[in-house]
Amino acid sequence: MLDVFYISYNEDFADENYEMLQVFAPLAKRIHGVKGIFNAHKQAAEKSNTKHFYVVDADAIIEEEFTFKFTPSSYVDAYPGVPETDCVFTWRSRNPINDLIYGYGAVKLFPKKPFLELTDWSVDMTTSIGCPFVPKFQISNVTAFNTDPFNTWKSAFRECVKLSSNIIDNNDSLDDKYRLDVWCTRGEKREFGEYALLGAQQGREFGEEYRENKDALKKINDFDWLEKKFEEAL
């Protein structure tokens, strides 16, 4: 079995979600309190004893049918001339606010070597390491980000900055537009739904305004900056 890493910072219910993950991956390792998404993933790569490793976010509640048994093969091409071992794999997750199902917040499988060689990254972690991206269509988890006003707003803001700025290479623009519209309009009656809509709408505005400014877009990975932005939004 490949290494499984659970990455947490200060999320509500992170301890409980980690315990639930261990039902599916008893040997899952935890990366906790590392500042910066890139730094946390790089630490996971450094601690991995396998050439590929799974990453589970702290707000992920794993689906009962999901397993961590998939192992990429060097003898199977994900794309013509590109073996599975050279790729990043992302499953699908279910959004508890607006019911979208796609790769946001889902389980991911990374090759270790690119992380060890990488010294910097762009706005989106999954597409920053220079490996082909392969979507897996099974639902791996619910992304239960709506645990309090700030975390709900933050999650929606970050994702909608990415969707509106077209920062993710090779994404389908029509899919992005549809998902962005859903984020910005649906789910107000769900728990903390009003904060999801506020974050989504403000994220869309920020992404559109700073589409050509990658330094500005990178701020969405600075949680101190996000807390200040949230306080200003209220």
Q: What is the pLDDT of residue 170?
A: 59
- The one-letter amino acid code at 22 reads Q
Q: Are 4 and 56 in contact (CB under 8 A)?
A: yes
Assess whether pLDDT exceeds 70 at residue 11: yes
Assess whether pLDDT exceeds 70 at residue 125: no
- The one-letter amino acid code at 16 reads E
Q: What is the pLDDT of residue 171?
A: 63
- Tens digits of residue pLDDT in 53-69: 999 999 999 999 999 99
Assess whether pLDDT exceeds 90 at residue 51: yes
Q: What is the residue-wise DSSP string for 27-79?
A: T-EEEES-SSHHHHHHHHHHH-SSSEEEEEETTEEE-TT--S-----TTSEEE
Residue 83's pLDDT band (cuts 50, 70, 90): very high
Report the chain's mean pLDDT, rounded to a whole number: 93
- Give the global pTM: 0.93
Assess whether pLDDT exceeds 90 at residue 38: no
Q: Are 87 and 131 in contact (CB under 8 A)?
A: yes
- Tens digits of residue pLDDT in 136-180: 999 999 999 999 999 999 999 999 999 999 887 656 688 999 999
The secondary element (H helix, E strand) that includes residue 109 is: strand 108-111
Question: Hey, how many other C-beta atoms are within 10 angstroms of the C-beta on 215?
Answer: 8
- Tens digits of residue pLDDT in 176-234: 999 999 999 999 999 999 999 999 999 999 999 999 998 999 999 888 999 999 999 98
Q: What is the dihedral of CA 117, 54, 123, 155, to 10 degrees?
A: -160
Which residues share a beta bridge with 79? 82
